[in-house]
Structure 1
Amino acid sequence: MDAKTIALIGVWGGLLALERRAFLQAMFSRPLVAAIGTGLLLDDVPSGVGCGLVLELFFLGGASLGGRHPDHELVAAVAASASAAAAARVSGGPSTPAMWAVGLMLALPLARIGRWVEHRLDARAMRYQGRAVAFTDSGSFRRVARQNLRA
């Protein structure tokens, strides 16, 4: 894969990560939709469908409700379908279930890492939120806006 394709997949994953918790929350970030979208971007829809179906079933019970934060299934879905599509491109043929399986095995640990990163980012945002409340109490509204931009 070239740098342009990797950047495109990164932007796709970033937009879906925003959709997952911050904007719209219309379930576009579910593994099946995210993997098929990745497959469409990489011109390999079968690897997106194959990886997305398995991951959707695997993460079916994990919903981000209330204070519960499941593994970051979006990271695994995009990484699995992208790696399966890359393997198919390198082999010069169509993607196979073996390529999907390798992509899934490589990408599943990323779901836990994604959850850890998400927790760290939430903790960072909470620190800035506490500072913003303190600046609001003291009447320093410009500093409140800066805390919002930093978080």
Structure 2
Amino acid sequence: MSNKLYSRLTAQVVAMIESEPDFIANLANISSILNMELESINWVGFYMLKDNELVLGPFQGNPACVRIPVGRGVCGSAVAQNAIQRVADVHAFSGHIACDAQSNSEIVIPFSINNEIVGVLDIDSPLFDRFSAEDEKGLSDLMAQVEIILQKHISPR
């Protein structure tokens, strides 16, 4: 993947969501764009933080786990640590929750509104070690722009 790809994806996502105030509609379109544009992935979507659990949100892919406790699995660890999780082999990740047996690597990016984590972007791949440091940076930068837009939509005007 190149910086050009993530610059283009970020511009595409920003253009799609900047004038739409609906949170769920925006996350649905983001997952769709990423699903169309990223190669060698088999699931992309969002989990939303509710009462110390992550609850399935908009996604593209096979049916998924509906609830994940904070601190469990890759997604729950991302929230507990408030840190990106880039896992080359999910089968070696202690406490991994296998929602799809086809997934072998994963990247999870927590995102916040008003300095509070509200959810995670989760992307799975059937390939081992699919996600590079460049993917991590590109997706992190993309989600930073998404956070700014989502924050504007919920802030009083």
TM-score between the two structures when normalised by the length of structure 2: 0.35
- Name whichever structure is richer in helix by fraction: 1
- Name whichever structure is richer in strand by fraction: 2
